[in-house]
Amino acid sequence: ATHFKIDGLKAAIEGKEILKGIDLEIKGGEVHAIMGPNGTGKSTLASALMGHPKYEVTEGEVTLDGEALLEMGVDERARAGLFLAMQYPSEIPGVTNSDFLRSAINARREEGKEISLIKFIRQMEGKMKELEMNPEFAHRYLNEGFSGGEKKRNEILQMMMLEPKVVVLDEIDSGLDIDALRIVANGVNAMRSEERGFLIITHYQRLLNYIKPDFVHVMMQGRIVKSGGPELAERLENEGYDWVKEELGIVD
Ligand code: ADP
Ligand code: MG
Ligand code: MG
């Protein structure tokens, strides 16, 4: 079964320590949410997991099914089964969405076992329909000129096509109207399985009304300071973050 483990992860940006020791364990079948005020390091965690060159991991270990992830390059991490939807997906002019997806899928397969074009197109069209995406998006350049909501849907399309073991979604809800939010959440929920773990990073509780987490973690100042069940998200929605700070004696 899938087992993703973050152990004492510290990371810095331009010499400034942002992540001050993150411990988190996600098993197949589980959905974890990380909530927290702006600027606490949530996106830094996502970027460090992805292997973004700007984020220097200074301490700690991350393993996926026992394999050391931090020693891997970005592509290798993806091949190992890690998928990240970033808060700000990048545009890749000159590469169409469908070309990008097909090479990403094939990069994760053995030579000679590439997905056939027919099968790929059939799958992609099916998933795009589920996500209520305009079929023309298959042939558009990756994310170029996509609206915020279209980019988010496209990230979910990639996730559905790649069938990763561990999914990290960074503010997948930002910039989505309520209909798009429902569609994106349905896509995520359809991918929930015993084989797959999720880490949902969000500033707002709203998303968690649609994707029910098993565990909720609060992140502040580069640390997970509190963990609980879905009721924790509801309390944060109702009361904000001040009570957590008071409880823990955090001054900012
Ligand atoms: P969150 O996602 O929780 O809002 P971030 O991880 O984006 O927080 O940011 C954490 C801290 O790191 C903030 O103080 C932010 O200004 C800083 N930071 C994030 N990315 C960069 C970057 N690329 N260069 C410099 N500072 C950064
Ligand atoms: Mg932010
Ligand atoms: Mg962020």
**Tens of pLDDT, residue by residue, the chain (252 residues):** 899 999 999 999 999 999 999 999 999 999 999 999 999 999 999 999 999 999 999 999 999 999 999 999 998 999 999 999 987 888 888 889 999 999 989 988 888 899 999 999 999 999 999 999 999 999 998 988 888 888 999 999 999 999 999 999 999 998 888 999 999 999 999 999 999 999 999 988 899 999 999 999 999 999 999 999 999 999 999 999 999 999 988 877
CATH among 3.40.50.12780, 3.40.630.30, 3.40.50.300, 3.40.50.150 for 81-212: 3.40.50.300
DSSP states of 53-121:
TTEEEEEEEEEETTEESTTS-HHHHHHHTEEEE-SSPPPEEEEEHHHHHHHHHHHTS-TT-PPPHHHHH
If one residue of 14, 43, 49 were mutated to test the ligand 1 pocket, choosing by the most ligand atoms within 8 A of its CB, it would be 43
Q: Is the CB of 221 under 6 A from ligand 1?
A: no
What tokens were used for 115?
A: 């997905």
The residue contributing the CA closest to ligand 1 atom 13 is: 39
CA dist 17 and 7 (Å) reads 16
For residues 88 and 211, give the distance between their C-alpha atoms in angstroms, rounded to a whole number.
21
Name the residue at shortest CA distance from atom 22 of ligand 1.
13
- Domain spans of the chain, in order of start: 1-25+40-74, 81-212, 216-252
What is the whole-number distance in angstroms between the Cα of residue 113 and the centre of ligand 1? 40
Q: From ligand 2's centre to the CA of 39, what distance in Å?
A: 5
Record the pTM.
0.94
For ligand 1, atom 6, name the residue with the nearest CA: 41
